[in-house]
Structure 1
Amino acid sequence: MRRLLFWLLLFALPSTQAAEELRLTNGEWAPYLGAQLPHHGIASRIVAEAFALEGIEVRWEFHPWARSLLLAERGDRHGSAVWLSSPHRKETFFVSDPILDSTYYLFHRKDRPLHWESIEDLAGLRLGATTGYDYGEPFQRAEAQQSLQIRRLGSDLLGFRQLLAGRLDAFPMDKVVGFDLLHEQFSSAERARLSFHPRPLRSDSLHLLLSRRIPQNADYMLRFNAGLARLRESGKVSQYLLEAQRPLSLGR
């Protein structure tokens, strides 16, 4: 009887087994990523909820982008979100299925219309770009060959300010990120002075990276992709991405 009571009490006790936890690095790129944003941003929410569906908890750390990538690459953290995929990164990381798409456009002032079909058409224009950002192979090659006049700046915010001030003719930005920044940092009158050319400068998918230096990450990536597929099938990924978008009219 005592033995039976012992086993009944044992199974009645709540489990003390700790949940699986991953430490992921992150950076500031509103509305997708941000330490002070709800759910740490839309992309962070997608990553965390996809893992949660597989019983894994995410603990986010926010650092400058270069440090975030280095910590993950060295295996000091499990991984980092969200990044472009490349052959080099596939050697260092397990790369997830696409989480979201990022499309860059050239913003310009409405009183200075922009017309271009190819990178060569941008020659002679004063172009801005943010330090450390990759704007696609044609743009990067033209910059390296100095066939374009490109001024690298410390932030996207500074790029928009110089664009409005007339010190730049065009500035490339992810459209969703650009609209969010304009709504957060600029007046409706300032937004009304800007537009963007409909031809994309670059369009790519963004991914979760998990370090290959941590053997368990191979399994974690399989589980993440499974959770992401389930989250996408539920309609929540589309819902979250839609919630991230500001009105398309810059003047509002």
Structure 2
Amino acid sequence: MRLLLLPLLFSLFCGSLTAAESVRLTNGEWPPYLGEQLPHKGVASRIVAEAFALQGVEVTWEFHPWARSLQLAERGKRDGSAVWLHSSEREEKFFISDPVVESGYYLFHRKGYSFDWQQIGDLQGRRLVGTRGYDYGAAFQQAEASGQLRVNRVTSDETAFRQLIAGRVDLFPMDKVVGFDMLHQHFSAAERAQLSFHPKPLRSDSLHLLLSREVPGNAELIARFNQGLAQLRESGKVTQYLLEIQQPLSLAP
């Protein structure tokens, strides 16, 4: 009898190993927060994965263009996607987590450019460049749509920075951490030294994990994720990880 029980117990044990919980999430390229070739898939991906791990859930990442990443999650073909702005429209289709990371957009400009602003109207008459498809906040978008602001939309953030350094435009709104990372990856120290940014943020937002309402069990899963995220924050690791990506970055040569 004991000999017959051993294979049964072994198969049950192996089955428990393969039955470990997992979640399939989509992602996109936004270094240093997100990136397929980055350590830990980027700092935001790392926070998401470790928060889930504290709840016994393993993350499998898939990287796609942003629109496809959202669409796959929205239709329930993947469990969810990271990381996104909160909106009422997204609440209809997703369970939205507590904030994973914070994003702050600032107006970059050349050093020596005399510039100050307090409200969107103060930007009127400035030569602005923006990246196609980017939302720089309701006030900015409305001013652009009405013609109050004239914004040259280009195909990439790198192109916008090159126009700024060349003096073809005056101001470029960009997430500060992402902007610093891009400048370090694609521009020389001499080029970086030509730039500065205004201390007043154009927009500040939190970014979140989205879990599809089309996937059964996701209501419970988002609650567990939030618990894991709170644990990770309390441990100090979230602050540590964010400092690790920010400390090496500056505009100084």
**1:9-24 alignment to 2 at 5 Å?**
10-11=8-9, 14-17=13-16, 18=18, 19-24=20-25
Pairs aligned (count): 250
Q: Distance in 1 between matches of 2:48 and 2:250?
A: 29
- Which residue of the partner structure matches residue 58 of structure 1? 59
Secondary structure of the corresponding residue to residue 102 of structure 1? strand
Task: Tell whether the 8 Å contact from 2:51 to 2:231 is kept in structure 1 after alignment.
Answer: yes
Structure-2 change in CA distance of 1:41 and 1:20 (3 Å): same
Structure-2 change in CA distance of 1:36 and 1:227 (3 Å): same
Q: What amino acid does structure 2 have at the position aligned with 1:50?
A: A
Q: Distance in 2 between matches of 1:231 and 1:11?
A: 35
Q: Are positions 1:143 and 2:150 aligned together?
A: no
Q: What amino acid does structure 1 have at the position aligned with 2:144?
A: E
Residue deviations 1:173-192 (CA, integer Å, cap 9, x gap): 11111111111111110010
Q: Distance in 2 between matches of 1:184 and 1:162?
A: 17
**1:26-105 alignment to 2 at 5 Å?**
26-105=27-106
Give the CA deviation at 1:247.
4.3
Q: Are positions 1:199 and 2:200 aligned together?
A: yes
Give the CA deviation at 1:71.
1.0
Q: Distance in 2 between matches of 1:8 and 1:215?
A: 36
- Which residue of the partner structure matches residue 182 of structure 1? 183
Give the CA deviation at 1:10.
4.6
Unmatched segments (≥5 aa) in structure 2: none
Q: Distance in 1 between matches of 2:23 and 2:29?
A: 20
- Which residue of the partner structure matches residue 126 of structure 2? 125
Task: Tell whether the 8 Å contact from 2:23 to 2:79 is kept in structure 1 after alignment.
Answer: yes
Q: What amino acid does structure 1 have at the position aligned with 2:161?
A: F
Residue deviations 1:187-212 (CA, integer Å, cap 9, x gap): 11001000000011000100000111
Give the CA deviation at 1:223.
1.0
Identical residues among aligned pairs (%): 66
Q: Distance in 2 between matches of 1:65 and 1:248?
A: 25
Unmatched segments (≥5 aa) in structure 1: none
CA RMSD of superposed structures (Å): 1.5
Runs of 4+ aligned residues of structure 1 deviating over 2 Å after TM superposition are: 5-18, 246-249
